[in-house]
Amino acid sequence: MLILASASPRRRELLSQIGVAYMVSPSHYEERAPKKKDPAKFVLAQAVGKARDVAAQYPGQWVLGADTVVALGEDILGKPKHEKDAIRMLHELSGHKHSVFTGIALVRDKKTYTKVVETKVWFRKLKDAEIERYIATQEPFDKAGSYGIQGKAACFVDKINGSYSNVVGLPLSQVYTLLQKAKVIE
């Protein structure tokens, strides 16, 4: 059975949504501080790191790892460390377009398949009071870029271009294709 190397409840929900059978074994891979300028390379390395970490414990089994960041200009935004961080990120995103990158890695023993998916997201201009209220909900704190498109921040988003599930943490069409390629599913 496929193993999902993730502690993210969103990734579980997304994988369940498409009817793929899996079990969960979160990785203990230490996430690196994002390097500037190359979000695609960064999420790919993180996804591979998470998947390989868990695959080492399960020889002969396919393991799926993923990593999501928000890229705004030259900056890569991960999860906020504290409230100030979240306020800064949401101010930066307000009224602008950014990209969400998710890297996915499917690993079994020495074999690795990977993919990086980008979705463009346009935020409307946010009022200071809205940002404060949103942060008070605690929703930003376990999410890249300090927001969840699937939650209360849905009303911040004017439009997106690309995969919606990619923003939430797992690009489902591309995950499915990777699983087919590895013959985990038909």
Ligand X SMILES: Cc1cn([C@H]2C[C@H](O)[C@@H](COP(=O)(O)OP(=O)(O)OP(=O)(O)O)O2)c(=O)[nH]c1=O
Q: CB under 6 A: which stretch of 1-9, 86-94, 104-112, 128-136 binds ligand X?
A: 1-9
By CB under 6 A, tell whether 154 contacts ligand X. Answer: no
Catalytic residue (one of 67, 75, 85, 109)? 67
Binds ligand X by CB under 6 A, chosen from 48, 55, 70, 175: 70
By CB under 6 A, tell whether 51 contacts ligand X. Answer: no
Contact yes or no for 70/144 (Cβ under 8 A): yes
By CB under 6 A, tell whether 45 contacts ligand X. Answer: no
By CB under 6 A, tell whether 67 contacts ligand X. Answer: yes
- Tell me the C-alpha distance between 66 and 114, whole Å: 10
Task: Confirm whether 85 is a catalytic residue.
Answer: no
**Closest approach of Cβ 175 to ligand X, in Å?**
13
Which residue is listed with tokens 């998710």? 102
Distances (CA, A) of 22 to 51, 94, 170, 175: 14, 37, 14, 13
**Closest approach of Cβ 126 to ligand X, in Å?**
15
- Residues forming contacts to ligand X in the complex (CB under 6 A) are 6-8, 10-11, 26, 31, 50, 66-68, 70, 79, 100, 142-145, 147-150, 167-169
Give the residue numbers marked as catalytic. 67
